[in-house]
A and B are shown apart, each in its own frame.
Chain A
């Protein structure tokens, strides 16, 4: 896949992500909203895959989409009940446009360099991640997992009481 094809594929993926996100906003049923969220998340991971990011793609699809959002879908289906919605307020559109314009002006120096798929292979990235220089990342992972376990114990106490 050459550079032009990657650019075109990126634009297509971005358009699909925006459409899916708008569907999340405009759908009144929480179950369908969660399903559109899963679609948008998978497409975001696909954008990483286009840049040769196989490992982040697998991480997002397996843990974020495969576990977190799947449980969100189950939760939305469990609590599915008729809720009266009054429609979407439109005041946020102006604020969002101002934020977009200001962010683009502030980040002009960032996007002035052309993009190309990363030259680092997934095997090299995995070797770098698992090498001995990753002590800080491992400490972070253990800390976050400890937090997850603490919240899980709290969750079990709530559900069992």
Chain B
């Protein structure tokens, strides 16, 4: 069982990296949202190892993560609708830092 916590943490880090790659390679805001949600999966995988030793703490972490992801999702869907209304597209190349148009 020694390697199981190792494999869990390695898998979580790998999924975090894949989610980061999805965000970096995203061409529109929907793909960006999907990448961010994939990164939340690594948090859930990390709590698997934590749940064995501290179930109470792990449940609190999962609860806060789920609520945070819901709030992040609502903020992003608001941003997507606003960008679509202003620019008539949701591609990330039309957005720079601060939301300025290129």
Q: How far is the CA of A84 from the CA of B34 in the complex (A)?
A: 18
User: Does B78 sit within 8 A of A, measured CB to CB?
Assistant: yes
Tell me what chain A mostly uses at the interface: helix, strand, loop, or mixed.
helix
Q: How large is the interface on B (under 10, 10 to 19, 20 to 34, 35 or more residues)?
A: 35 or more
Q: Which residues of A contact B (CB under 8 A)?
A: 3, 7, 10-11, 14, 17-18, 21-22, 24-25, 30, 33-34, 37, 40-41, 44-45, 47-48, 50-51, 53, 55-56, 59-60, 63-64, 67-69, 71-72, 75-76, 79, 83-85, 88-89, 92, 95-96, 99-100, 103-104, 107, 110-118, 120, 125, 128-129, 137, 140-141, 144-145, 147-148, 151-152, 154-155, 158-159
Q: Among B15, B24, B25, which residue has its beta carbon within 8 angstroms of that of A21?
A: B15
Is A64 in contact with B69, judged by CB distance below 8 angstroms? yes
With A68-B70, A137-B63 already in contact, the answer to whether A115 and B22 are too (CB < 8 A) is no
Residues on B with C-beta less than 8 A from A25 are 18, 21-22, 25
Report the minimal beta-carbon distance from A76 to chain B, rounded to whole angstroms. Answer: 5
